Structures are given as C-alpha cells and as structure tokens.
Amino acid sequence: MMKTKALFAFLFLLACSGIALGQSAKPDEKVSITQVLDRSVTGVEKEFVPAAEAMPEDKYSFAPTSGEFKGVRTFGEQVKHVAAVNYMLGAAILQEKPPVELGEESGPASIKTKADILKFLKDSFAYVHKAIATINEGNQLAPIKMPWGKEMGTRVGMAAIVVSHCFDHYGQMAVYLRMNGIVPPASRG
C-alpha cells in the first residue's frame, strides 16, 4: 500500500512539475531532477506556509468537534506534524539524523506558540531544500532507508512524499481555516 501511494505521489509530482517547468523552461534548456523536485517543494511551500500564517494564534488550538472529527489534530498540531515529517524526509534523503529533536512525527512538545511553530515549519522547508539540492542522476534512485521502518525507498520517492504529505495536510488545514471564517490565501482572488 505504501509503495502504491509513493508511486502515485511520484507520478503526480512529475505531472505537476512538468506543467510548472513548461511555464519556465526554454525548449532547448535541460532541466535537472534537482530543479524539478525543488520547484515542486517550493510550490507546496508557497501554499502551505501562508495557510499556516493565516490562522490567528488563538485558533491554533482549533480542531473540529462536530461530525466525524473525534481525535483529530489541532491546526497547530497539523503544522508541527508536517514540519516534523519534512525533517524526517530531509534527513532520509541526506542519510543523516534530523538536525533537531522531533518528538517523533508530532514535533517537539516544547514548540507551542504560533511564532515558534511557524519558525519550525519554515526551517523544515529550508532543510528539505538543502536535502533536495543533493539529489542528482547518480543517487536519485539508489535505495535508502525510509525514516519509519525497515523499508527501502529512494531520494526521489522521499521528495515526492514531502509534496504529497504537505498537500494532504494543507487540505485539512484549508477546511479548518474555512470553519473559522478564513479563506485560505491560495484561494483568494
């Protein structure tokens, strides 16, 4: 199941990046895998970070309660989770230990304020960009250990998961924003 999701995410990433690159690449310009992946991460970052910034601090503890929302993460927990997983995936690409304590996939318990959560998020994207900058034709498909088990993956696969994971949680955050009367920045005219 995880391999199917990763393959779908990768194919989606390639399709989206092909569209994005078609807008900026010249017909005779060769584009590297690093550029494709980095532009894809930049695309999700440009939607995700403004959405995280749009929610007022007093609503970072918001989680829906009516309907089938029992036990879901709060808005702030969604943001921290994405940042923690960004670090995990970046570290997997670099084949190193994450540079910060993560508190597993939930992010550090010590990070509580909106300002601290946003800094953690932005720093996680900077780390992912650093990791993606190391992907090249020679290592892109080499087997690497995935961050959550004994399964093996690839650097390209990890980068694709960054994008798909962020967009998965962005969708949830967009619902939280709208439930609080806030139009997500990416949806504004």
Give dist(CA 39, CA 59) in Å, integer. 31
| Domain-located, residue 105 | yes
Residue 104 has pLDDT above 70, yes or no: yes
In a domain, 64, yes or no: no
CA–CA separation, 63 vs 70, rounded Å? 9
Q: Is residue 9 part of a domain?
A: no
Mean pLDDT in residue range 115-123:
98
What residue numbers bound the domain in which 48 lies? 32-56+73-184
Nearest 5°: phi and psi at 156?
A: -60, -40
Question: What is the rounded distance in angstroms from the CA atom of residue 119 to the CA atom of residue 97?
Answer: 20
Residue 151 placed within a domain? yes
**CATH number for the domain that contains residue 138:** 1.20.120.450
User: Per DSSP, what are the bridge partners of residue 144?
Assistant: 153
> At 24, is the pLDDT very low, low, confident or very high (cuts 50, 70, 90)?
low
- 4 has pLDDT over 90: no
Considering only 10-19, 96-105, 117-126, 143-152, which range has the smallest mean pLDDT? 10-19
Classify residue 25: in a domain, yes or no: no
pLDDT in tens, 34-86: 999 999 999 999 999 999 999 999 999 999 988 888 889 999 999 999 999 99
The predicted pLDDT at position 70 comes to 85
Query: What does each C-alpha distance from 158 to 21, 30, 153, 187 come to in angstroms?
Result: 20, 23, 7, 28
Task: Give 26's pLDDT tier (boundaries 50, 70, 90).
Answer: low
The arithmetic mean of pLDDT across residues 5-12, rounded, is: 43
Q: What does the angle CA 129 – CA 178 – CA 125 come to, to the nearest 5 degrees?
A: 10
Please tell me the predicted confidence (pLDDT) of residue 8: 41
pLDDT at 28: 74
Question: Residue 63 burial by CB count (10 A; 0-12/13-18/19+): exposed, middle or buried?
Answer: middle
How far apart are alpha carbons 52 and 79 in whole angstroms?
7
Identify the pLDDT of residue 10. 47
Side-chain-side CA neighbours of residue 96 (13 Å): 11
Asked if pLDDT for residue 7 goes beyond 70, the answer is no
The number of beta carbons lying within 10 Å of the beta carbon of residue 152 is 11
> What pLDDT, in 10s, does the model give residues 128-171?
999 999 999 999 999 999 888 778 999 999 999 999 999 999 99
Is pLDDT larger for residue 57 or for residue 10? 57
pLDDT for residue 25: 58
Q: How many domains does one find in the chain?
A: 1
pTM given for the model: 0.85
